[in-house]
Structure 1
Amino acid sequence: MDLFSRSWTALLAAVADLSDEDFARPSGCAGWLVRDLVCHLVIDAQDVLITLVTPADTPPTRDAVTYWAVSRTPPTGDDPLDALVVRLAAAYGEPRLLKFHLDDVGSAAGRAARLADPGLRVNTQDEVLTAGDYISAYVLEWTLHHLDLVAHLPDAAGPSAEVLAGARELLEKIAGTAFPSSFSDTDALLVGTRRRAPSDRETAQLGVLCTTLPLILG
């Protein structure tokens, strides 16, 4: 719960600090500008709110690790849902309106997460998780998207060291193995999810782990 709050609060603050010009810059997500990514965060925040008020009365079918559907095909930005996000983002017109909506819905999602009983079973995407596992899974989502947000904004604040370490730990559990200790947490997250390609040196350090990468989470 604490890492969720820290990661989400930092991400909301980073968006709030963006200039209007920043919204037109590319993000770390293929085919998306920063404005498109921020619009996606609005949708994510809505999903958190919906899930935390959708209780389930059956045993959990997923946890924070198995919540993720993993593929090895990087997104191209051509998926119909990705294209819908681009159209929605453009409809806001002014960055301040998108900022306002994210702050409004995002703050509510943060409060809902802090108030949630970690043991509460919730339903999302036809799966059942505890609220604690669901919120823990989203630490990875927020951290990766925070890295996406600042990918081409060198002066913007990125995730904290504590949050990066927590996200790396979860990604390693999804991978079923640890990344080399020579990898920083940021590099493990970026290379592991193919937000950037590994260098020749990193490829050698990854060894057989290369055969299971990238981990594209959906």
Structure 2
Amino acid sequence: MELFSQSWAALRTAVAETPDDDFGLPSGCAGWLVRDLVCHLVIDAQDVLITLVTPAESEPTRNAATYWEVSHTPPTGDDLLDALIPRLAAAYGDPGLLRFHLDDLGSAAGRAAVLADRAARVSTKGQVLTVGDYLSAYVLEWTLHHLDLIAHRPSATAPPAETLGTARALLEEIAEAPFPTEFSDTDVLLIGTGRRTPTDVERAAAGELAERLPLVLA
């Protein structure tokens, strides 16, 4: 719960500190500007709120690692929702409106997470998870998108070290293999999810794992 709150607060703070002019810069999500990514975060916050008030009675079918659908093909932008996001983001016009909407929904999602029973079961995407596993999965989501937000803004504040390490550990669980210890947590997340192409040296160090990358999460 603490890491969910920490990663989400850090991401929302990073958005709040993003200058208006930077909303038109590319993000780390292929084909999306920073404003498109922030619009996606608004939808993510809605999803958290919806899931936390969608109780389930059956046994969990997924955990924090298996929550993710994994492919090895980066998105092309042809997915209907992926294509819709830039149009929604453009409709806001003023970056301040996007910031306000994210702060409004994001604060509510953060409060709902703090109040939720970690052992309770919730339903999302046709699957059942405990609240604890669901929120743990989102530490990875928030941390990746924090890196996406600052991908072309080197002076921006990076995600907290604690959440980077937790996100790395979960990605290694998803990969069913550890990344080389010499890789930083940030490099593991960027290379592992296809946000950065590994160098020849990095690919050699990763060995057989490199052949199974990227891990595209949805």
TM range (shorter): over 0.9
Cα distance, 1:193 vs structure 2: 0.3
Report the residue type matching 2:87 in the other structure. R
User: Shift of the alpha carbon at 1:203?
Assistant: 0.5
Match of 1:67 in 2: 67
Partner of 1:22: 22
Alignment partners' CA distance in 2, 1:203 and 1:212: 11
**Distance in 1 between the 2:41 and 2:112 partners?**
16
Report what 1:92 is aligned to: 92
* Percent identity of paired positions between Structure 1 and Structure 2: 70
Structure 1 counterpart SS, 2:123: strand
Give the Cα–Cα distance (whole angstroms) in 2 for the partners of residues 183 and 71 of structure 1: 22
1:70-81 paired onto structure 2 within 5 Å: 70-81=70-81
The Cα shift of 1:89 comes to: 0.3
Deviation at 1:48, TM superposition (A): 0.1
Code of the residue aligned with 2:182 in structure 1: it is S
The C-alpha deviation readout for 1:59-80, integer Å capped at 9, x for no partner, is: 1000001000000001122322
The answer for the alignment partner of 1:109 in structure 2 is 109
SS class of match (1:62)? coil
Matched position secondary structure for 1:15: helix
2:165 corresponds to which residue? 165
Deviation by residue 1:100-139 (Cα, 9 ceiling, x = unmatched) = 0000000000011111100000000110000000000000
Partner in structure 2 of residue 55 of structure 1: 55
TM-score by length of 1: 0.99
Is contact 1:31-1:78 (8 Å) kept? no
Shift of 1:212: 1.1
Structural mapping, 1:125-204, within 5 Å: 125-204=125-204
Query: Residue 129 of structure 1: SS of its match in structure 2?
Result: strand
Q: Match for 2:33: what amino acid?
A: L
- TM-score relative to the length of structure 2: 0.99
- What is the CA-CA distance between 1:154 and the residue it aligns to? 1.0
Q: Residue 68 of structure 1 aligns to which amino acid in structure 2?
A: W
Q: Is the 8 A contact 1:57 1:121 kept in 2?
A: yes
Q: Is the Cα contact below 8 Å between 1:52 and 1:116 reproduced in 2?
A: yes
Alpha-carbon distance between aligned partners in 2 of 1:158 and 1:150, rounded to the nearest angstrom: 7
Q: CA deviation at 1:155?
A: 1.2
Secondary structure at 1:106 match in 2: helix
Secondary structure of 2:195's counterpart equals coil
Number of residues of Structure 1 aligned to a counterpart in Structure 2 = 218
How many angstroms does 1:169 deviate by?
A: 0.3
Name the counterpart of 1:6: 6
Give, as a single letter, the amino acid of the residue that structure 2 aligns with 1:132. Answer: G
Q: Which amino acid aligns with 1:56?
A: A
